[in-house]
Amino acid sequence: MKISVIGTGYVGLVTGVVFAQLGHTVICMDKNREKIDNLKRGIMPIYEPGLKEMAVKNHDEGRLFYTWDIKEAVTKSDLIMIAVDTMPKENWQTNLGSVKAVAKDIGIWMNGYKVIVNKSTVPVGTGNLVERIIRQNQKKKCGFDVVSNPEFLREGQAINDTLHPDRVIIGAENTAAAMKVVEIYQDMNTVVKVTKLKSAELIKYASNAFLATKISFINSLADLAELTESDIEEIAEGIGLDKRIGRQFLNAGIGYGGSCFPKDVGSLIYTAKEFGYDFSILREVKRVNEARIERFFAKMKKTVKLKKKRIAVLGLSFKPDTDDLRESPSLKLIKFLLKEDSEVIVYDPVAMDNAKASLKRVKYAKNAYECVKGADITVLVTEWNEFRNADLKKIKKLMKGDLFFDGRNAFEPHIMKKLGFRYFSVGR
Ligand SMILES: NC(=O)c1ccc[n+]([C@@H]2O[C@H](COP(=O)([O-])OP(=O)(O)OC[C@H]3O[C@@H](n4cnc5c(N)ncnc54)[C@H](O)[C@@H]3O)[C@@H](O)[C@H]2O)c1
């Protein structure tokens, strides 16, 4: 099938590359010309394991094209995927500006029947809005259908998640249109669930909000574990063995970040309110998460005076295996540390270049060992394997002090103690 993907960001690029890999002809379109010119030269705008190789291969073999021309993307495809940003406004209402602009352009250039597939995360009812905008802007009156096909990929594992999803959700008001989308997933060995258009839109928010709830739940329990001198890791293990609960997303720490969880929780609360429903449980999930950094910082401050101390921060990205800094707990913690007039040295395996654009008052180290050299305090904020597998003896030797704050429970307290660290983690 001829597929166009409008918006070649995280989701759009990975989706385009994977569908090309599955044998479809794909045009990835973006309004950002520099990004498109770079992609044509094999330069990826994001770091994602396996992405570059697959993108270059499919581009070279003539299945994957890049353009900044929306007319070309619309006229040369049967199926158009929308994968543009839907960042929240300050009040957490979803900014649908990019989605609306794309819908208008699709209407203007539509030259025959198309299936419009929305992959962006959008509030319930947006599919109908997209349909209205396309209709209002059509120069040529041709038929089309709007389908919701929310994206569930995880950054850091995006290629694998897109090739082998747990499930594919296709929401449509017209079965024939839904079947056209089912067709492009037929080579994937996965469950495809066809739903109402609006159900699909809500399934996406519900999934992320539920996972965020699990995280805030375990983090609240971690606070109680500290007060009761129990161990949150043992507790998570104990409850996670219950098949109805499961162990995933029960890792206590300094909270969730990224471009999706904070935004989707906030947006679902906002949308619910618009429909006259107070989603109070999610308001609490959000509050608990927002308090994590402050609580962790307070723990540091209670233990040691931070003023003029040299503090090594390991990890900048919001989670391992990505260079994404959006809503990163690390950046938030660093802001607090800098306010204390401490000297902050940072290191991250891949997110350093992205950080340099906005994070100015810190020093950048070339590796974890250079980062901790001479430090009074080390803080681990992102649990990259590189840190988990680091030589802790060497770290202890290189540091001037002995304080180690672990925001991700990456190490065993008794081992850290044995190595001579004064070690503080979460809920233990
Ligand atoms: N990043 C994730 O892990 C993830 C996972 C699941 C779902 N989502 C959802 O997918 C959507 C896209 O997210 P993302 O992370 O890929 O965003 P992104 O910001 O990385 O990419 C969006 C791209 O759309 C382009 N764009 C914006 N307006 C355009 C227009 N009018 N015409 C052409 N291009 C345009 C931008 O230039 C940008 O390159 C969002 O709704 C997000 O919530 C993201």
Q: What is the pLDDT of residues 57-75, one digit of tens each?
A: 999 999 999 999 999 999 9
pLDDT of residue 156: 87
Residues 122 and 31 reside in one and the same domain:
yes
Instruction: With respect to residue 389, please indicate whether it lies within any of the assigned structural domains.
Output: yes
**pLDDT, tens only, 107-159:** 999 999 999 999 999 999 999 999 999 999 999 999 999 999 999 999 889 99
Query: How far away, in angstroms, is 49 Cα from ligand 1 center?
Result: 19
Residues 185 and 212 reside in one and the same domain:
no
Instruction: With respect to residue 130, please indicate whether it lies within any of the assigned structural domains.
Output: yes
pLDDT of residue 259: 85
Domain count of the fold of the chain: 3
Residues 309 and 275 reside in one and the same domain:
no
Token pair, residue 151, equals: 């994206």
Probe target for ligand 1 pocket from 85, 92, 99, 201, with the most ligand atoms within 8 Å of CB: 85
Residues 256 and 302 reside in one and the same domain:
no
Probe target for ligand 1 pocket from 259, 271, 325, 328, with the most ligand atoms within 8 Å of CB: 259
Q: Is 15 in the pocket of ligand 1 (CB under 6 A)?
A: no
pLDDT of residue 135: 97
Boundaries of domain holding 344: 292-424
| Domain stop point among 236, 261, 281 | 281
Query: How far away, in angstroms, is 11 Cα from ligand 1 center?
Result: 6
Query: How far away, in angstroms, is 400 Cα from ligand 1 center?
Result: 44
- Tell me: pLDDT of 102 over 90: yes
Distance CA 15, CA 5 (A): 8
Instruction: With respect to residue 275, please indicate whether it lies within any of the assigned structural domains.
Output: yes
Residues 119 and 253 reside in one and the same domain:
no
Interhelix angle 126-137/197-228, rounded to 10 degrees, is 140
Question: Measuring CA to CA, how many Å separate 313 from each of 100, 246, 259, 261, 424?
Answer: 40, 31, 21, 23, 14
Residues 230 and 356 reside in one and the same domain:
no
Residues 91 and 45 reside in one and the same domain:
yes
Share of the chain above pLDDT 90, in %: 97
Residues 159 and 40 reside in one and the same domain:
yes
Instruction: With respect to residue 86, please indicate whether it lies within any of the assigned structural domains.
Output: yes
pLDDT of residue 424: 98
Query: How far away, in angstroms, is 377 Cα from ligand 1 center?
Result: 38
Residues 139 and 211 reside in one and the same domain:
no
Residues 172 and 44 reside in one and the same domain:
yes
Catalytic status, residue 371 = no
Probe target for ligand 1 pocket from 8, 11, 29, with the most ligand atoms within 8 Å of CB: 11
The residue whose CA is least distant from atom 43 of ligand 1 is 121
Instruction: With respect to residue 287, please indicate whether it lies within any of the assigned structural domains.
Output: no
* Spatial CB neighbours of 100, under 8 Å, sequence gap ≥ 6: 129, 130, 133
pLDDT of residue 41: 97
User: What pTM was estimated for this model as a whole?
Assistant: 0.93
State which ligand 1 atom lies nearest to the alpha carbon of 122.
41
Task: Tell me the CATH number at 33.
Answer: 3.40.50.720
Task: Tell me the CATH number at 247.
Answer: 1.10.1040.10
Provide the pLDDT confidence category of residue 31 given band limits of 50, 70 and 90: very high
**pLDDT, tens only, 206-244:** 999 999 999 999 999 999 999 999 999 999 999 999 999
Residues 313 and 239 reside in one and the same domain:
no
Question: How much is the average pLDDT of 294-320?
Answer: 96
Residues 316 and 272 reside in one and the same domain:
no
pLDDT of residue 235: 98
| Domain stop point among 150, 174, 195 | 195
Instruction: With respect to residue 407, please indicate whether it lies within any of the assigned structural domains.
Output: yes
